[in-house]
Amino acid sequence: MASTHSLGIHNLDRHLNELSQQGYTIIPGYLDRQTTAAIRAHIDAVVASDLPDKNLTWADTDKARIYRNDEQGIRQLRHPIVGNIMPEIANNPQTIELGRLLLGSDLANLRMREQVLSRTDPTPPPYGPSGWHIDAPFTKEEYESTPRRIYYQLLQYCSTVESGGGAFMLVPGSHKLTYAANAEPRSEEQRQQLQKDPIGVASIDPDEGIEVCANDGDLIIFNAMCLHSASKNESQQTRYVYFTSFYDASAEWLVDFVRNTKYRDGFPDSLYLGLPEELHHLLAH
């Protein structure tokens, strides 16, 4: 594993320890303001091309697959997302190395799971969390293996998010409870029960959830097994986020899952062609 100081992130060892103990950490000033402004502009341009109002539907356009939830004010743009900015932000050496480091992976075995752009507009009440969940039912063995056979979410705030402004919400330390509930060899049925009801299966109190507020350009890393939620935006400012995640090619359950769901099949040719040849393995199956 590379030195934790090779990334140039101040106090990275402290951040990694916080991630291990609390399930999340915030790295300030990760993206420069020019990049976050460009991401906001791209999100707005794609959203402007959206189809007529259709709550809770996917809309296939020539630019992106757009998930709309008008009641929550959310527009999520998932691959395929075209535009030169997508390979540019994917080809961030610091992010790639951070993804590798978090998993303990060899670079050649690193895979990019997704790129997602998200905009949360101001909405009327009621406010608060919009759906507590975990992202994937990983086992404790997958978490503790080397390389790790899980993924971490890398949320890059592209606008400052204050309390009530559509902040990402999380129950600190809840990953320890979900992994403990998934500690024994688990059947697929048992995994899916945890996915369906993490609060009940892992005995988590969602009232212990917090808003994770951060500034424009800050990076939030969190364990996908933490109980977390989006929240509605009661402020007057739109919230913008870019997030991505990586996994190791040895993660058998996850590899099978993304193949069976064809989740990564939507990466556009423009993303592949926009990456340098030495990074094409990020999109390999």
Domain that holds residue 175: 12-283
Task: Summarize the confidence of residues 162-186 as an average pLDDT.
Answer: 96
Whether residue 251 lies inside any domain: the answer is yes
Residues 6+ apart with CB under 8 A from 237: 122, 159, 160, 165
268 to each of 80, 81, 93, 114, 264, how far by Cα in Å?
5, 7, 21, 12, 10
Whether residue 7 lies inside any domain: the answer is no
Please state, rounded to an integer, the average pLDDT across all residues of the chain: 92
Task: Summarize the confidence of residues 88-114 as an average pLDDT.
Answer: 97
Token pair recorded at residue 246 = 């990586």
The predicted pLDDT at position 256 comes to 97
The predicted pLDDT at position 6 comes to 62
The predicted pLDDT at position 2 comes to 37
Q: How far, in Å, CA of 241 to CA of 263, rounded? A: 20
Whether residue 2 lies inside any domain: the answer is no
**pLDDT class of 70 with cuts at 50, 70, 90:** confident
The predicted pLDDT at position 40 comes to 98
Q: How far, in Å, CA of 77 to CA of 34, rounded? A: 21
Number of domains in the chain: 1
Whether residue 1 lies inside any domain: the answer is no
**pLDDT class of 170 with cuts at 50, 70, 90:** very high
- Answer yes or no: is pLDDT of 3 > 70: no
pLDDT tens track for 40-65: 999 999 988 765 554 434 454 556 78
Whether residue 3 lies inside any domain: the answer is no
CATH number at residue 177: 2.60.120.620
Task: Summarize the confidence of residues 197-216 as an average pLDDT.
Answer: 98
Whether residue 35 lies inside any domain: the answer is yes
Q: Which residue has the higher pLDDT, 48 or 94?
A: 94
Whether residue 20 lies inside any domain: the answer is yes
SS3 at position 271: helix
pLDDT tens track for 252-264: 999 999 999 999 9
The predicted pLDDT at position 61 comes to 52
